[in-house]
Structure 1
Amino acid sequence: MIIICPECGRGISSFADSCPNCGLPRSMFFKAANQRSINNMEFVDLGLPSGTLWATKNVGAKSPYDKGMYFAWADSEVKEDYTWENYKYFLGFHIAESNKVPRLSKYTGHIRLGIVDNISFMEPCDDPASVYNDMSSMTPSYEQFKELFENCKMSREYTKGVNGIQLVGPNGNKLFLIATGYITGTKILKEKCPVFWHNRCNSYGYDNAGCFSTTDFADNYCTFSPERCCGVPIRPVRR
């Protein structure tokens, strides 16, 4: 598996004892990622109807061509293994209809999933975009992502050694979305596509949350709902 060094942003083997590029020891990978303060986020106006400003890079990234950090939904701690057992609000499993079902302490809408609070939108205290930047930044909503993809021209692009999607807004300004995939356990899926959390859980129970991505051919956007414990990048918007 390839992981991202939090110091230099290079992809390295998960079996490496240290980063061959900058020398950061493996034991410091996740400590460095969790301690990094991102206070130089830049935003671009694409001329969208709502006036929403989009960050030019992912949370934790040093540039638009760096994948940045991966987060479980509403959990600002970077993980080595993206499983329920490592999730911030995980209470344990119970068996329902012969299936292991996670019990959660927050963001639940059904008693079978734990403590019911009927909160389905990510709160600022749990939002990595706010935690690592400032409270004026946030994980985008479903509606903001939909507006972005439906109002911008989209094309696949390979630049500076990385694959991604180039979006051109109504006013001609551009936004590059690096291909990131997402992580379940330690495995990266959809590696050739940009994948981002939005700020809302799914509509039933809330053990899954929403992502925006693109099709493999980069000719359209798509949505899906992985388990909340999966590791997914975040592209902030400005409040």
Structure 2
Amino acid sequence: MRKILLIMATIFSLTAVGQVNMTVYLSNGEVKVYDKADVDSVTFGMSGDTDKYNGYEYVDLGLPSGLKWATCNIGADAPEKYGDFYEWAETEPRDRYGKGNKYSSDGSSLKYSKYNKDDNKTLLDPEDDVAHMKMRGAWRMPTLDELKELFNQCQCSVETAGDVKGFRITGPNGNSMFMPLAGYNMGESISKRGYKGIYWSSSLYEDEISSKANTVSLFDTGKFRFESLNRSFGCCVRAVIE
């Protein structure tokens, strides 16, 4: 955890022998005393841009909604790692993408037994939300509107972390996160890795047959685009909490 504890008061006091101490009163009631000679600087607020919830690191980008974003893709243990691919409404990676989605009622990817015109469901239920099922607690997938807030409110630039190309997304408060261009999976092969990254939202694309869900596509040119994609594509997921 890189978040500095909020300091309620900082007092420099002279001792009987003239030594200068710094007494720090923490918000949890603890009192800590430091020799001033050992103190280089005092920082109030946050030293970095991340904290943890339920064991997973998140970043507060200063978005108007207050939404916090996970620092890693689901299935990754570092921001520059790609993570796993998921079909929309699936909660486990697949060996082969594009056929056999659990809600594909006819085996084709054109007719679905859930999230269709009959049930009028337009957002994933918790049991079909991979972020909630993997990370638990309040973690979930972002809606399309929340993806739009992220990319419309933040500054985006392309950078390379290690040997992985991705988007550096910097929020209104100056905090940032990295989203790799992991590509996508259809069939058994990964396409466009290093050139494009596709991230699912939890929002169904409401077309005539409800075979698509909403995504954001990131490109190595620094551009992004909100698109609808067939549910059976394997794409990345980045989780959020409120």
Mapped partners of 2:192, 2:210: distance in 1: 23
Which amino acid in the other structure matches residue 207 of structure 1?
A: S
Deviation of the 1:39 alpha carbon: 5.5
Mapped partners of 1:47, 1:102: distance in 2: 39
TM-score (norm 2): 0.73
Mapped partners of 1:141, 1:190: distance in 2: 24
Determine if the alignment matches structure 1 residue 124 to structure 2 residue 89. Answer: no
CA offsets per residue over residues 106-155 of structure 1, 9 Å max, x none? 1111xxxxxx2111211111100000001301110111111111111111
SS at match of 1:233: coil
Asked if structure 1 preserves the Cα contact closer than 8 Å seen for 2:199 and 2:236, the reply is yes
Deviation of the 1:101 alpha carbon: 6.3
Change (3 A) 1:48 1:141: same
Aligned residue in 1 for 2:104: 90
Aligned residue in 1 for 2:40: none
Which amino acid in the other structure matches residue 66 of structure 1?
A: K
Asked if structure 1 preserves the Cα contact closer than 8 Å seen for 2:181 and 2:219, the reply is no
Asked if structure 2 preserves the Cα contact closer than 8 Å seen for 1:137 and 1:236, the reply is yes
Mapped partners of 2:137, 2:56: distance in 1: 12
RMSD: 1.7
Which amino acid in the other structure matches residue 223 of structure 1?
A: F
TM-score (norm 1): 0.74
Gap regions ≥5 residues in structure 2: 1-52
Q: After superposition, where does 1:44-55 map in structure 2 within 5 Å?
A: 44-55=59-70
Mapped partners of 1:147, 1:213: distance in 2: 15
Aligned residue in 1 for 2:73: 58
Which amino acid in the other structure matches residue 62 of structure 1?
A: D
Which amino acid in the other structure matches residue 73 of structure 1?
A: W
Which of 44, 52, 71 is the aligned partner of 2:86?
Answer: 71
Which amino acid in the other structure matches residue 213 of structure 2?
A: A
Aligned residues: 188
Deviation of the 1:186 alpha carbon: 1.9
Mapped partners of 2:97, 2:109: distance in 1: 16
The structure where strand makes up a greater share of residues is 2
Asked if structure 2 preserves the Cα contact closer than 8 Å seen for 1:124 and 1:135, the reply is no
Mapped partners of 1:129, 1:143: distance in 2: 17
Change (3 A) 1:224 1:190: farther
Deviation of the 1:76 alpha carbon: 0.4
Asked if structure 1 preserves the Cα contact closer than 8 Å seen for 2:87 and 2:97, the reply is yes
Give every structure 1 segment of 4 or more consecutive aligned residues whose post-TM-superposition deviation is greater than 4 Å. Answer: none
Mapped partners of 1:189, 1:120: distance in 2: 28
SS at match of 1:194: strand
Q: After superposition, where does 1:100-115 map in structure 2 within 5 Å?
A: 102-109=110-117
SS at match of 2:110: strand
Mapped partners of 2:174, 2:198: distance in 1: 23
Deviation of the 1:45 alpha carbon: 0.4
> Identical aligned pairs, as a percentage?
34
Change (3 A) 1:104 1:65: same
Which amino acid in the other structure matches residue 213 of structure 1?
A: S
Which of 189, 199, 203 is the aligned partner of 1:200?
Answer: 203
Change (3 A) 1:233 1:49: same
Mapped partners of 1:223, 1:105: distance in 2: 25
Deviation of the 1:203 alpha carbon: 1.2
Mapped partners of 2:128, 2:148: distance in 1: 23
Which amino acid in the other structure matches residue 81 of structure 1?
A: R
